[in-house]
Each structure stands twice: as structure tokens, then as C-alpha cells.
Amino acid sequence: MTTQESTLCLVGAGLGNGILAWFLRKRHPDLNIVIYESKSRIDEGRTWSFHKTDVGEANFAVLQELIAHSWNGYEVSFPLYKKRYDSTYATITPEKLQRELLNAGVDLQFLSPVQTVAHDHVALSDGRTLFFEAVVDGRGFTSSSARLGYQKFLGQCVRLSKPHGLQVPLLMDATVPQLDGYRFFYILPFSETEFLIEDTRYSRNSHLNQEDLTREISSYIERRGWKIERILKTESGVLPIPLDAETPTSNCFKTGMAAGFFHPVTGYSLPDSVRLADRISALSQLNRKTLLATIEAYRSEQMKRRQFYFLLNRMLFLAAPDLERRKVFEHFYRMPQSVIERFYAGNTTYLDRIRILSGRPPVNIGPALRAVFSRKVKEAL
């Protein structure tokens, strides 16, 4: 048994804990932080992207050194609607996150699976039990008591034989045939000849057929007149899209997906991770009590705000027929840019909500939608 009571222990070197450690190093340089991670490095199979407006100007500045790519704009494309937006979109890579955390003096202990996590100690699989000022569990998503839809995707980072000509990310190319729910391609141009391309589906089931999606990516690339020289990296994900609130667990020191801190409609957790890290690192007295109070306050605030997003998810997955889900997104992207930005940041206002729900529904959802709405719409607004 070892005691390191002045040290904060983070379990899992993923996005949530990585961002938390980064903010803490910036604002509490004397704090000792150790991270135990079961893998041999921060998972390279992920690229974490976000809108600058998701995190705000000040937090964006704190993230600067972690950002591998950023663009002054992005596009979306639907059968009846195509638009370019002029706000900043950025990407953090696991390689950069790992390098910067090590440079900043975070004690990253790889190949160290934790067997038991408690608020003041961990038990490692090598038999050691270690005590700390506090322990934060960021072991990622495991399960949910909520009903779920899924955002699932396969991505390939590829080098092309010639420049692709894209200047900014194409966040949704939904002009493609609709399969397995709402389907679109997502492209992040990293250089003139390299990009990350993903075939994404908003589906009722979690099954991801990697072979099919690999073929679909190749044929999309071919249709666009591009030629792959080399596939540099592959990543895939099946992200939970909750249709209702999860049973809350209190008194838990958790971050990231493990805590349910992610955007219900996108399954993305980076904005929440940044906001929570900002709050925790702003504490002048960082101890078990203040840490728990901050996480709990964040959780109850999120619970209230998220009701509206759960309602939208029910509308998407229960009311809209699978292959007409695209129309819901097309309708949404016709909103003013400020409404879209607040939506992704998880900050929709009362007026935004009315606006998003008003007008003629874009799909013939009939009785199913009325059923979804009638029960919960008032409390969700």
C-alpha cells in the first residue's frame, strides 16, 4: 500500500482525462498528476474534432498546443441545400495530446490497467493499492440505462496521388445514397493530398460492417475522381445516441463518456471535457470535496439542459423513418449559423428550441411523432 496524498490520480489516458490533465498543468503547475492507462499509448485510432464555438475563445487558447489542424470554415452538402460556414473547426490528435502531456510533466503510466477505482485509491492489476488525494475515473463509455440509437462510422486517413482540392472540412456530404439510417461522408483535409474520410450512419443498430464501409469509402473516392496512393490510418466508432436520460449516479468522480458527459445528438465529448476541465482547473482549492462538488454541479446542470436533445433524438430515431432521417438534418442546417453553433455547443436557448421544432416537420412522421411529442415536449423545452 502506498500513499501519495498530494497527487491527483486519473484512470484512463483518453480524451476526458487528457484534457483535464492539460488544463490542470496550465493552471496548477505544482499539482502532481499521475494517469494510469491500460494501453501502451494514447489510443491512436481517434481524431477529436470540434467547433471553436463549442469551447469558447478562452478555452480555445488553452487548447492551442494540442491542436494538430484547424480551418477557417466548413461545408455541408444535402440534395437540396449546400452551404459554407465561416467559423473555425479544429482537430486534436492522440499523438499530439500524448506528446504535449509528457512535455508538460504529466506522469503517464502506460500498460497499467486499474482493477478497482475508488474516490481515494486504486488497485492496479500488479497487486499494488495506491492512495491519492482524489481519483478520477475516465475509462470511457461502458453501458447506459437509456434507450440508444447509434452514430457509427469507419474512417480512413488516406494519401491521394493528386491534390483533392478541398480547402475546408466537408462535415456532412449527405448527397450520398441513404443506407442504414441517416448516412453522410465526413472529410477533414489535412494537407493538399491527405484527408480523413468517414462513412457515417445514424442507425438504430450498433453493427458496423467494416468491409462494407471500406468498399463504400473506396467507391466514394473514385466517384469524386480521386485516387488513393496509400491508406495511412483507419479508425472506427459506434457512439451512443441516448433517446432519454440515463439513471443518474451520484457521488462519482468521473469524466468523459464514463460520466455521460457528451453531446446527446452527436456522441461527441470534447466540448464537455473542455468545459469540465475549465471549471475544475479554475478551483483555487483542489481537493476531494471541491472536485466532487464541481463534477456534481456540472452533472445536474447538464441533466437539465439535455432534455431537449433527448427529445430530438427520439424524433430522429423513433418518429422519422430510417431513410428519411436525412431530411431532419437538412431542415436543421437551414437554421441561422448562430442557432447551429449553439446547438453543437450544447447551449440552445429557449428561442432556438422553439425555432428548431417549429414549422412543418420535414418528414411525414404522423402518429409516431405526435406520441413522442405529446408526452415530453413541454418539459424538454
Q: Tell me which residues touch ligand FAD (CB under 6 A).
A: 11-17, 36-39, 43, 45-50, 113-114, 138-140, 235-237, 239, 256-258, 267-270
Our CB check for ligand FAD shows the closer of 11 and 363 to be 11
Our CB check for ligand FAD shows the closer of 53 and 269 to be 269
Our CB check for ligand FAD shows the closer of 172 and 239 to be 239
Our CB check for ligand FAD shows the closer of 171 and 363 to be 171
Smallest gap from Cβ 157 to ligand FAD, in A, equals 11
Which residue is listed with cell 471500406?
214
Smallest gap from Cβ 114 to ligand FAD, in A, equals 4
Our CB check for ligand FAD shows the closer of 28 and 39 to be 39
Smallest gap from Cβ 147 to ligand FAD, in A, equals 19
Smallest gap from Cβ 271 to ligand FAD, in A, equals 7
Provide φ and ψ at 83, rounded to 5°: -150, 150
Smallest gap from Cβ 272 to ligand FAD, in A, equals 8
357: closest CA among 306, 294, 311?
Answer: 311
Our CB check for ligand FAD shows the closer of 38 and 70 to be 38
- Which residue is closest to ligand FAD by CB? 14
Smallest gap from Cβ 183 to ligand FAD, in A, equals 17
Our CB check for ligand FAD shows the closer of 138 and 320 to be 138
Smallest gap from Cβ 376 to ligand FAD, in A, equals 26
Smallest gap from Cβ 190 to ligand FAD, in A, equals 14
Our CB check for ligand FAD shows the closer of 241 and 270 to be 270
